[in-house]
């Protein structure tokens, strides 16, 4: 065919679809240098999940497939490109190594531990439990214990010891000769300490340790019984039905007993031909009471180096503040009630 020079020049131009196909970048290489591709290559998480995926290798061709391929290549030698292969590739799962399997297990365990920690973080017990430290003003308890609240309930943990209660005649009578035994139970401060614990205003003021208050109530009731038995008026308390110190002890001790709700089992025994339960001879779980006598053994100011201790100058300041508060109360209540 005879073509004019202009058409011949156009036909001789290189084709963008065939002649320079090797020079044109593929879609993968075109995006290889994009910011997103560079970020994925450097990101450790992407690298981690890539290692967890199944990896595949191309299966080698069989002899029959290879011979058929060679015949097709000979027939289409003029039209086929050197690297053309129209057969769909066959793939074979990559055989995992021992390291791959253990690595996957460790990753799964790590993810499981994260889920458990998140669950406990939002649904578990409180992560901060106030512990009591001995010989501390803010936490004066001598035993290792703690208190915490969970789901609307309060829990207390403290050290205890087991003992067997035995009868003691010195405290089971009302004879005046045994009064000093009850007096010794009050200690030097009668249970009085100075602390800011339990006060909303945070001031250090007079307080009483409950054990000594309960023992004092028993001693006062014993004194009233002594006075009534001897037929004489008591010098310290009014034995009237609704006056004096002692009547409140009935209600106070009642509430304390119900509050403690002691569930110890007291074994019964036969005495005088009938079954009785005295409480003696049975095992009982008790808290430590000796520390209460230790911290009150030096008076209301406390003992140096122990809980509730205050120096002399500090105690004088506290007493002055207490006196001012008493005077202010008297001004606000001129009738005394």
- Token reading at 261: 């709700």
- The secondary structure of residue 9, as a DSSP letter, is H
Q: Could you give the 3-state DSSP secondary structure of residue 148? A: strand
Tell me the pLDDT of the chain averaged across its residues.
Answer: 75
Give the residue-averaged pLDDT of 156-169. 86
Contact 302, 295 (CB under 8 A): yes
Contact 337, 231 (CB under 8 A): no
Domain span holding position 179: 147-232+246-332
Give the residue-averaged pLDDT of 84-105. 63
In a domain, 45, yes or no: no
In a domain, 123, yes or no: no
Between 201 and 48, the higher pLDDT residue: 201
Q: Which pLDDT score is estimated for 326?
A: 94
Q: Could you give the 3-state DSSP secondary structure of residue 193? A: strand
In a domain, 288, yes or no: yes
Q: Which of 13-22, 65-74, 223-232, 277-286 has the highest mean pLDDT?
A: 277-286
In a domain, 337, yes or no: no
- Token reading at 295: 């911290």
Range of lowest pLDDT (20-29, 94-103, 184-193, 314-323): 20-29
Range of lowest pLDDT (77-91, 119-133, 210-224, 283-297): 77-91
Strand runs (DSSP E) across 226-337, as ranges?
Answer: 269-271, 274-276, 283-286
Contact 133, 139 (CB under 8 A): yes
In a domain, 260, yes or no: yes
In a domain, 163, yes or no: yes
Is-above-0.85 flag for pTM? no
Q: Which of 15-24, 88-97, 293-302 has the highest mean pLDDT?
A: 293-302
In a domain, 253, yes or no: yes
In a domain, 104, yes or no: no
- Separation between Cα atoms, residue 320 and residue 86, nearest integer Å: 104
CA angle 125, 128, 130 (to 5 degrees): 115
Give the residue-averaged pLDDT of 117-142. 57
Q: Please report where in the chains the tokens 């500090």 appear, as a residue.
A: 314
- Overall domain count for the chain: 1
Q: Could you give the 3-state DSSP secondary structure of residue 301? A: coil
In the structure, what pLDDT confidence band is assigned to residue 76 with cuts at 50, 70 and 90? low
């Amino acid at each position: 065919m005879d073509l004019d020079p202009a058409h011949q020049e156009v036909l001789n131009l290189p084709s963008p679809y065939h002649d320079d196909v090797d020079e044109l970048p593929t879609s993968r290489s075109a995006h290889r240098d994009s910011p997103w591709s560079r970020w994925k290559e450097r990101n450790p998480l992407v690298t981690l999940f890539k290692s967890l995926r199944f990896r595949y290798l191309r299966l080698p061709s069989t002899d029959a497939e290879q011979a058929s391929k060679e015949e097709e290549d000979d027939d289409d030698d003029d039209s086929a490109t050197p690297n053309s292969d129209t057969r769909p590739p066959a793939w074979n799962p990559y055989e995992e190594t021992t390291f791959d399997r253990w690595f996957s297990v460790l990753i799964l365990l790590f993810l499981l531990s994260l889920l458990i920690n998140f669950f406990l973080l939002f649904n578990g017990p409180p992560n901060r439990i106030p512990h009591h430290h001995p010989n501390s003003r803010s936490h004066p308890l001598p035993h290792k214990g703690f208190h915490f609240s969970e789901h609307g309930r309060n829990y207390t943990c403290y050290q205890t010891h087991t003992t067997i209660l035995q009868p003691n005649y010195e405290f089971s009578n009302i004879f005046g000769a045994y009064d000093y035994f009850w007096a010794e139970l009050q200690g030097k401060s009668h249970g009085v300490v100075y602390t800011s614990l339990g006060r909303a205003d945070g001031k250090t003021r007079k307080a009483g340790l409950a054990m000594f208050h309960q023992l004092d109530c028993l001693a006062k009731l014993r004194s009233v019984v002594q006075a009534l038995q001897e037929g004489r008026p008591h010098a310290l308390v009014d034995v009237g039905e609704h006056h004096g110190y002692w009547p409140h002890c009935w209600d106070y001790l009642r509430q304390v007993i119900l509050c403690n709700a002691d569930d110890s089992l007291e074994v019964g025994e036969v005495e005088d031909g009938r079954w009785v339960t005295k409480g003696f001879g049975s095992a009982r779980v008790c808290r430590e009471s000796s520390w209460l006598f230790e911290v009150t053994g030096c008076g209301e100011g406390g003992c140096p180096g122990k809980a509730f201790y205050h120096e002399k100058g500090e105690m004088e300041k506290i007493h002055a503040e207490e006196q001012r508060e008493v005077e202010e109360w008297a001004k606000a209540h001129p009738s005394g009630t």
